[in-house]
Chain A
Amino acid sequence: MTSDTALPPAPGAQAPAPATETQRRWARQHSIGALWETWGITAVLVVLLAASPLLSSDFLTVANLQSVLRESAYLGIVAAAMTLAVMNGTFDLSVGGQLALVSVTTLMGYAAGGTGLAVLVAVITGVACGAVNGALVTAMRVPPFVATLGMLFVFRGIAYVLTQDGPKTLPYSEIGSPFVKIGGLNVAGIPLPFLIMVAFYGAIWVLLRRTATGRRVLAFGSSPEAARFCGISVHRIRMLIFVVIGLSVGIAALTYISRVWTADGSAQDGFELRVIAAVVLGGTSLKGGKGTLIGTFSAVLLVGVLNDLLVSRGVDASYQRVVLGCVLITALAIDGLRTRFAAPGSFAHMLPRRRREAPAR
């Protein structure tokens, strides 16, 4: 402060302010709280992985790790797109129905015209589902929660109608087909579904962090009012988000169905809730405007690893649910308590401020 005396009083008084503001912002971004927000769940994943040999001797084998990655991929792919939606302050409850429907149509496509047609059908069905959701939300102005809840019934119902004569399955004779390789192939020891998932996260990251559209997604999520005053068209963004979710389900269904080989209307019941749980576990706030893709990525793997560990420990499937539910509540409770204590007027908020003022006095 004293070094600024040469400057005129008015700018001199203001000049240090931006500097300290930048410093403060840097400090805020690199505080333990902020780091925890971005990397917390990743840290938990690393700790869990480090502790895994103690929990299960068979966990850290190549085959087992490959299977965890392969199993996690379809959930992860949809979770990436769902992260966009949740950041935008909305969500899509219909993904479970979409996955069932796309899986069924994909198998029908494969039966009709082989791998190429199957992939095409998967992507088209997924995008079409997303477009229907998007149209309902934007053109018909139905609140996303109910629109997608209704479409969950509809998509699942269509899948049921298509499989009335029994579930669609891939015949065993197709084991050598390229379609099965989508789910089963390993590239340099890494399962192809996981590579697809990583590529999808890369694409979503670019969309979110390197394009104006991504900015708008976040901007609307953090303040719908402000975004509207800035002239951001919510409709276009929401449409895009729902189509991206549909596309993600199309891709996810390919990695899922080429591994599971069979689907009917009841496939993946409750999938939507698992996806949203993974997104929220990853630190994305349901209020919108805040979240990270790496959080979702790690949360998906965390759930996968945890599931695998529980299975290998011989824990009953019913207790697995209890454990996963408790993990979700704990993660959210930590987050909730932290934001509560950081709120204006709370004790914890007073503490750092006093510390900051201390050197000045």
Chain B
Amino acid sequence: MTTAAPERGARATAPRARLNRAIESAPLALPLALIAVVLTVATDRFLSVDNLTNVVVAAGIVAIPGLAMTLCIAMGEFDLSVGSTVSLTGAVTCTWIVGGHPAAVAMLVGLLVGAAVGLLNGLVVTKLGVTPFIATLATLVIVRGVSLAYTGGRDAIVSSSTLKFLAAGRVFGVPMPVVLTAVTALAAWWVVNRTRFGRWVCAIGSNREAARMSGLPVDRVRTTVYVIVGVAGGIWGLLISSQLQKGSGQLGLGFELDAITIVVIGGTSLLGGRASVVGTLLGAVLIETIRNGLNLLNTPPAYQRISIGLLLVVALTIQALRRNAPAEALDDV
């Protein structure tokens, strides 16, 4: 909260702001470099082009919903329903493709479904006044149920080159997910740092009541952010379905925590009021590098969970210890 104000005024005192920002991203860049060095030494495959491409693609895929979630968390709210959106979007798209519709139409319908879930979240939160945490928790359960009912518990297996292109295709040699992520990241950076909408989002995150008093269209902004997260969840679903070539009610279980984890590791405060686009990207790369490294070292999946959990806790401990006001940390929920 308090950090929002200095950052606003920071444009005038650029060097100090730049220093602050450098310190803020350091906790991520440092372990990232360290892990990369360790993995280069410990394995002979880490530094290969193929492997690094895998890491970047995986990071890109999780970064897209992560960037949308950054907006949501900067607004001081959450969306827990992303994992279910992933499942429903994939299920709808694949079922439509199986049903004989053109892949492009099916993908568009999938994205619309994602947007609809976002709109539902937004309306429940703004019009019915339900706390975002609970509202999106409820839609998580509901949308998962709809997805399971829609697929009838069966996998919709597809073989569509158009859908496959989304995750496996290359544009001028650059993997498609990376292109999508780059576009999303630029858009997110631009929205957060250069647009009125981004300001509004952060203003609502710092103090929603003050934002309302200042005449900001608070409910409209909140709804829009939920729709953005819904669409991003939809893109995530398309990418996952594209990778696996199937849609299923079981996909995306627990994905919401992945998205939130990279945002939080990236340094976007859960208190709201500020967004770190670069941090989220770094967070995604860090997590996927660790996953990749553990895979290369033949570590069982169980240890991956532990290490990601510990990473989250350590990152947050560093953040909390760096903050001087002890009281502030305790107000976080």
Contact = CB atoms under 8 A, between A and B. Distances in A.
Main secondary structure of the interface of A (DSSP, over half): helix
A150 B309 contact: yes
B249 A318 contact: yes
Contacts, number: 173
B135 A318 contact: no
B133 A322 contact: no
A142 B134 contact: no
A144 B331 CA distance: 9
A332 B333 contact: no
B4 to A, nearest CB: 17
B320 A142 contact: yes
Interface residues of B, number: 56
A146 B140 CA distance: 19
A277 B134 contact: yes
A145 B302 contact: no
B332 A333 contact: no
Contacts of B124: 329, 333
Contact of A89 (B129, B261, B333): B333
Given A332-B130, A339-B129, A319 B317 contact: no
Interface residues of A, number: 54
B132 to A, nearest CB: 10
B329 A142 contact: yes
B148 A318 contact: yes
A332 B134 CA distance: 8
Interface string A287-320: 1000000000000000000000000000011111
Contacts of B131: 280, 286-287, 332, 336
Interface stretch (B102-110, B199-207, B218-226, B252-260): B252-260
Contacts of A238: 330
A141 B270 contact: no
Contacts of A91: 333
A318 B145 contact: yes
B312 A321 contact: no
B30 interface: no
Contacts of B321: 140-141
Contacts of A277: 134, 137-138, 141
B278 interface: no
B129 A340 contact: yes
Given A269-B254, A277-B134, A316-B149, A151 B333 contact: no
Those 5 A-B pairs whose CB atoms lie nearest each other, nearest first:
A153-B309, A336-B129, A321-B145, A143-B332, A160-B302
Given A149-B312, A277-B137, 8 more contacts: A144-B332, A150-B309, A153-B306, A153-B310, A157-B303, A277-B141, A322-B141, A332-B130
8 contacts: A136-B317, A146-B313, A153-B309, A280-B131, A286-B333, A318-B146, A321-B144, A325-B142
Interface of B: 80, 124, 128-131, 133-135, 137-142, 144-149, 153, 249, 253-254, 257, 260-261, 264, 270, 300-313, 316-317, 320-321, 323, 326-327, 329-333
